[in-house]
C-alpha cells in the first residue's frame, strides 16, 4: 500500500510501493498549484520508476522547495525514504502531510507499515487501529489487518528477547554474496551458494569448505563441474555423510544432465524448463553428472530449496505447485522402491496462505525449521520451527523470537547435529564483508532440536585393506525396525548415520563372499554427544575365522535368549542359508565372576540356546556344533566392568567349508 498508488499520474507502480492502486477515501486535493513544482514531481516519479531512488528524492525535494505543502511530493518522499530504510525521514514526511490535511487517513496505514518495518511495534498497532476505524476497501482492510496481527504479536514478543550474538564466518565469506549453507552430520563439511561476478552477468555456484585440525573452516573451493555450470545453481542439501548433493537449478541444459546411458537430449539446446531439483553423487573425489529428480518431485511450477532427512528417506522442498495453501509451500517426497515418490503437502500446521520457504529438517528427523511470512512474526520473513509429535504430525510453528527475527527477511536457517549452533545468511549486519554473508550463532535453549550422536565407519577387506561397498543396516533393537540402510562408499568404504538418545541399535554390515559383521550401540548409557568412529574389517569365510554376535542377549546367570536377540539370529540364519556349505561352532564365553564350573555350564547352555534357535529356523543340525568355554578365553582384562562385558559374548567359528 503506497502513499501514491492511487494517483493516475504514476507511469508505473513504484517497486517500493506496497499499497494497491485504489483508495477508499473521497478524493482530496493533494496536488499543487505550482507548475514548476509539478514538473519536478513528475521527474521524481520518472526516476523512481527507473530504479533511481536518490535522483527521485532530489526531485521530490526540489518540488517541495517550490511548494512546501505539496502533499503528493511529501508522500512520495516518505515512500522513497522508506524504501531506503531511512525510517525517521520517512516518518517526518508522512507526518508533515498528515499535518497539512488530517483527513488523509490513509497516511495512518503508511505510518503503520513504516513503524512495523522500523520495529516500533506499539506505534504500528496504534496507527493501524486508527486506520481501520475509517471505511476502507476489502483489500485495504486485509492488508492492514495482516500487518496488525504481526504488530500485536511483535509487541509481546519483543518483551522477551532471546540471546543472539551472530559471528561472521570470515573464512567462508567474501566481497561476493554467500548464502544457503548445508552441513554434514559430523560438522566437518560445509557447502554453500556463492554469487559470482557483477549483475547482469553474475551467476551462482556451489563452494565447499572443510574444517581444519583446529576446528576452523578452511578457504572455500569451487565444487566444480559437472554440478556447477555457467548457469545458476541455487540452494543445496547434502546427505548425512556428504556424498550425495540435492540442489535447485533453473533451465538447466539437458546436455549438462545425466539422462541414462542410451538417452540424449531431443535437440542440442534442450533444457529442463523452470526451476527443478537435481542430485549428484560423490564418486571418489569427483561429483557425478547430475540427474533430474523426475517429474513426480518436479512439476511445471517452481521447485527449490531441498533438505534431506538424515536417513535419506525424506526430501523436503519448497514449491509453488498446484494443491498448496498459498504462494509457496513446504512439501515432502518419500524415497520408496528406489526413487522419490509423489510429494505430499505438509498441511496447514506448516503452510499458510502466505509463503513458506527454505525448509531444513534437522538430523533428529523431529524438528523442522523454515521461513514464513504467513505466520505472525517480526518482519517480512521470520524463522520458525515445528516439532513432530508422537503421532508423526507436525505441531503449529514456534517463532524463533527476537532478535533472531527482525523487521528484515530471514531465510535459510541451518542447525548443526548437536543443536547448539545455527547458521544463517544476512546482508543487514555492519560486520559483513560484502553482499550477503553467512553467520553462526548459539541456538537458544527453547529452539534446540534433539541432541544427537553419530556413527562413522569405514568398511575394508580384512586381508588387503581395500575399501568395500558393503550393505550397512542399522536397526532399533527394541522395535526390530530398520532405521538406516545404505552401502558404504565404493571408493573409500565410508558410511555415516545418526544415533539418537535413549535408543539401542544393532548394526549389521555384510557383503557377498564375506562374513557378516555386527556391532551394538547403546545410547541409554554414556554421553550422547560422543561420536562413534569404527573400522570394520570384513573377513573371507575361512576355517578358524570368528564372528562375534554382539546383539545376542541373555539375562544375568540365565541362558534363555532375550527377544532382542532375534534380529541378530535372523541375520545369522540368512547368512548360513546363503552359504549352505559352511559348518559352524557356536561358542559361549563368560567373565570370571563366580564359580568356574558354573560359568562353563552357563556358557555351554547359552551356546546351545543359539544352536537350537538356528535349528528351528531351518539350519541343519549336522552343520552346527556348540561349546561352552566359560572364562577360559577372555578378550580383555576382567579387572574392569568394561572388560568383563567384552568377555561375556557369543561367537560363531567357521569349522568347515
- What does the pLDDT look like over 83-118, one tens digit per residue? 999 999 999 999 999 999 998 989 999 999 999 999
CA distance 147 to 377: 9
Domain 542-657 sits in CATH 3.30.1330.60: yes
Residues 6+ apart with CB under 8 A from 543: 654, 655, 656, 657
Contact (CB, 8 A) for 653 and 587: yes
- Domain-wise residue ranges, the chain: 35-157, 167-415, 452-540, 542-657
CA distance 72 to 300: 43
* pLDDT tens sequence across 164-216: 999 999 999 999 999 999 999 999 999 999 998 776 658 899 999 999 989 99
Give the rounded percent of residues in the chain with a pLDDT score beyond 90.
85
Q: Would you state the pLDDT for residue 19?
A: 34
Chain centroid to CA 419: 12
CA distance 162 to 164: 6
Average pLDDT of span 535-555: 96
Average pLDDT, the chain: 92
pLDDT band at 18 (very low <50, low <70, confident <90, very high): very low
Is the model's pLDDT at 553 over the cut of 90?
yes
C-alpha angle with apex 283: 265 to 491, nearest 5 degrees?
A: 150
CA distance 642 to 156: 53
Burial of 135 (0-12, 13-18, 19+ CB in 10 A): exposed
Is the model's pLDDT at 3 over the cut of 80?
no
DSSP 3-state assignment of 500? coil
Cell of 303: 521447485
DSSP structure string for 528-594: TT--EEEEEEE----TT-EEEETT--B-TT--SBPGGGHHHHHHHHHHHHHSTT-EEEEEEE--S-S
Q: Nearest Cα to 226, choosing from 272, 167, 168, 290? A: 290
pLDDT band at 14 (very low <50, low <70, confident <90, very high): very low
Identify the CATH number of the domain defined by range 167-415. Answer: 2.120.10
Q: Please tell me the CATH superfamily of domain 35-157, with its number.
A: Tetratricopeptide repeat domain (1.25.40.10)
* pTM tops 0.75: yes
* pLDDT tens sequence across 280-304: 999 999 999 999 999 999 999 999 9
189-196 and 203-210 beta bridge pairing? antiparallel
Q: Would you state the pLDDT for residue 201?
A: 59
Average pLDDT of span 522-542: 90
CA distance 181 to 415: 10
Chain centroid to CA 179: 13
Q: Would you state the pLDDT for residue 435?
A: 85
Q: Nearest Cα to 16, choosing from 113, 115, 152? A: 113
Cis peptide before 11 (omega within 30 of 0): no
Average pLDDT of span 611-619: 96
CA distance 3 to 232: 37
Q: Would you state the pLDDT for residue 26?
A: 47
Average pLDDT of span 127-146: 93
Q: Is 341 left (phi over 0), alpha (psi -120 to 50) or beta?
A: beta
Is the model's pLDDT at 23 over the cut of 70?
no
Contact (CB, 8 A) for 614 and 624: yes
Average pLDDT of span 317-327: 95
Is the model's pLDDT at 157 over the cut of 70?
yes
Q: Would you state the pLDDT for residue 27?
A: 60
Give the position of cell 496481527.
149
Cell of 78: 516518505
* pLDDT tens sequence across 632-656: 999 999 999 999 999 999 999 999 9
Q: Nearest Cα to 550, choosing from 576, 512, 589, 524? A: 589
* pLDDT tens sequence across 445-501: 999 999 999 999 999 999 999 999 999 999 999 999 999 999 999 999 999 999 999
Q: Would you state the pLDDT for residue 202?
A: 80
Average pLDDT of span 351-366: 96
- Topology of 452-540 in CATH? Immunoglobulin-like (2.60.40)
Q: Would you state the pLDDT for residue 200?
A: 60
Spell out a b/e string for 615-652, using b for 16 or more CB atoms within 10 Å of the CB, else e: eeeebeeebbbbbbbbbeebeeeeeeeeebebbbbbbb
Length of the chain (residues): 657
Q: Nearest Cα to 253, choosing from 230, 220, 282? A: 230
Contact (CB, 8 A) for 474 and 496: no
Dihedral pair phi/psi, residue 553, rounded to 5°: -130, 145
Spell out a b/e string for 329-345, using b for 16 or more CB atoms within 10 Å of the CB, else e: bbbbbeeeeeebeebeb
Give the rounded percent of residues in the chain with a pLDDT score beyond 70.
95
CA distance 107 to 1: 10
CA distance 184 to 188: 6
Dihedral pair phi/psi, residue 615, rounded to 5°: -65, -40
pLDDT band at 2 (very low <50, low <70, confident <90, very high): low
Mean pLDDT check: name the lowest of 247-256, 262-271, 626-635, 644-653.
Answer: 262-271
CB atoms within 10 A of CB 260: 7
Contacts 24+ apart (CB under 8 A), 384-390: 385/447, 386/349, 386/350
Amino acid at each position: 500500500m503506497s502513499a501514491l498508488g492511487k494517483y493516475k499520474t504514476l507511469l508505473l507502480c513504484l517497486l517500493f510501493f506496497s499499497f494497491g492502486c485504489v483508495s477508499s477515501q473521497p478524493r482530496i486535493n493533494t496536488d499543487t498549484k505550482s507548475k514548476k513544482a509539478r514538473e519536478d514531481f513528475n521527474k521524481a516519479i520518472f526516476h523512481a520508476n527507473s530504479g533511481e531512488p536518490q535522483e527521485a528524492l532530489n526531485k521530490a525535494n526540489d518540488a517541495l522547495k517550490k511548494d512546501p505543502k505539496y502533499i503528493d511530493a511529501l508522500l512520495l518522499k516518505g515512500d522513497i525514504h522508506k524504501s531506503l530504510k531511512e525510517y525517521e525521514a520517512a516518518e517526518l514526511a508522512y507526518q508533515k502531510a498528515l499535518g497539512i490535511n488530517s483527513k488523509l487517513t490513509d497516511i495512518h496505514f503508511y505510518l503503520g507499515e513504516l513503524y512495523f518495518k522500523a520495529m516500533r511495534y506499539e506505534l504500528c498497532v496504534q496507527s493501524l487501529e486508527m486506520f481501520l476505524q475509517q471505511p476502507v476497501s476489502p483489500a485495504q482492510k486485509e492488508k492492514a489487518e495482516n500487518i496488525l496481527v504481526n504488530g500485536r504479536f511483535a509487541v509481546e514478543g519483543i518483551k522477551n528477547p532471546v540471546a543472539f550474538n551472530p559471528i561472521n564466518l570470515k573464512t567462508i565469506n567474501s566481497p561476493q554474496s554467500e548464502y544457503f549453507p548445508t552441513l554434514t552430520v559430523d560438522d566437518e563439511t560445509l557447502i554453500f551458494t556463492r554469487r559470482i561476478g557483477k549483475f547482469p552477468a553474475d551467476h551462482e555456484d556451489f563452494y565447499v569448505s572443510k574444517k581444519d585440525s583446529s576446528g576452523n573452516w578452511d578457504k572455500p573451493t569451487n565444487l566444480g563441474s559437472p554440478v556447477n555450470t555457467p548457469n545458476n545453481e541455487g540452494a543445496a542439501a547434502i546427505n548425512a555423510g556428504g556424498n550425495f548433493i540435492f540442489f535447485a537449478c533453473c533451465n538447466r541444459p539437458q546436455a549438462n544432465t545425466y539422462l541414462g546411458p542410451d538417452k540424449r537430449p531431443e535437440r542440442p539446446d534442450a533444457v529442463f524448463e523452470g526451476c527443478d531439483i537435481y542430485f549428484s553423487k560423490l564418486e571418489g573425489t569427483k561429483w557425478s553428472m547430475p540427474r533430474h529428480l523426475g517429474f513426480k518431485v518436479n512439476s511445471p511450477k517452481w521447485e527449490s530449496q531441498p533438505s534431506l532427512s538424515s536417513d535419506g528417506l525424506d526430501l523436503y522442498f519448497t514449491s509453488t505447485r498446484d494443491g498448496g495453501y498459498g504462494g509457496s509451500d513446504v512439501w515432502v517426497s518419500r524415497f520408496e522402491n528406489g526413487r522419490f515418490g509423489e510429494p505430499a503437502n505438509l498441511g496447514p500446521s506448516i503452510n499458510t496462505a502466505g509463503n513458506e520457504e527454505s525448509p531444513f529438517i534437522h538430523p533428529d528427523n523431529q524438528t523442522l525449521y523454515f521461513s514464513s511470512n504467513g505466520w505472525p512474526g517480526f518482519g517480512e520473513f521470520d524463522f520458525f520451527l515445528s516439532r513432530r509429535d508422537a503421532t508423526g504430525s507436525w505441531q503449529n510453528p514456534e517463532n524463533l523470537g527476537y532478535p533472531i527475527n527482525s523487521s528484515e527477511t530471514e531465510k535459510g536457517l541451518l542447525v548443526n547435529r548437536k543443536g547448539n549452533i545455527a547458521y544463517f545468511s544476512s546482508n543487514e549486519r555492519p560486520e559483513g564483508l560484502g553482499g550477503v554473508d553467512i553467520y553462526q550463532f548459539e541456538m537458544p535453549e527453547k529452539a534446540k532440536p534433539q541432541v544427537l550422536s553419530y556413527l562413522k565407519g569405514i568398511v575394508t577387506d580384512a586381508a588387503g585393506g581395500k575399501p568395500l561397498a558393503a550393505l550397512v543396516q542399522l536397526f532399533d533393537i527394541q522395535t526390530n525396525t530398520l532405521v538406516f540402510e545404505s552401502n558404504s562408499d565404493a571408493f573409500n568404504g565410508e558410511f555415516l548415520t545418526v544415533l539418537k538418545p535413549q535408543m539401542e541399535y544393532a548394526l549389521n554390515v555384510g557383503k557377498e563372499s564375506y562374513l557378516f559383521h555386527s556391532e551394538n550401540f547403546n545410547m541409554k548409557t554414556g554421553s550422547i554427544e560422543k561420536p562413534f568412529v569404527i573400522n570394520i574389517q570384513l573377513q573371507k569365510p575361512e576355517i578358524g575365522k570368528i564372528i562375534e554376535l554382539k546383539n545376542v542377549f541373555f539375562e544375568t546367570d540365565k541362558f534363555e535368549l532375550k527377544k532382542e536377540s532375534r534380529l541378530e539370529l535372523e541375520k545369522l540364519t540368512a547368512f548360513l542359508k546363503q552359504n549352505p556349505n559352511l559348518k559352524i561352532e557356536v561358542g559361549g564365553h563368560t567373565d570370571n565372576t563366580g564359580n568356574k564350573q558354573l560359568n562353563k555350564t552357563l556358557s555351554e547352555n547359552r551356546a546351545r540356546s543359539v544352536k537350537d534357535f538356528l535349528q528351528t529356523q531351518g539350519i541343519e543340525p549336522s552343520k552346527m556344533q556348540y561349546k561352552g568355554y566359560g572364562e577360559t578365553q577372555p578378550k580383555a582384562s576382567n579387572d574392569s566392568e568394561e572388560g568383563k562385558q567384552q568377555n561375556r559374548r557369543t561367537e560363531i567359528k567357521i569349522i568347515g567349508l
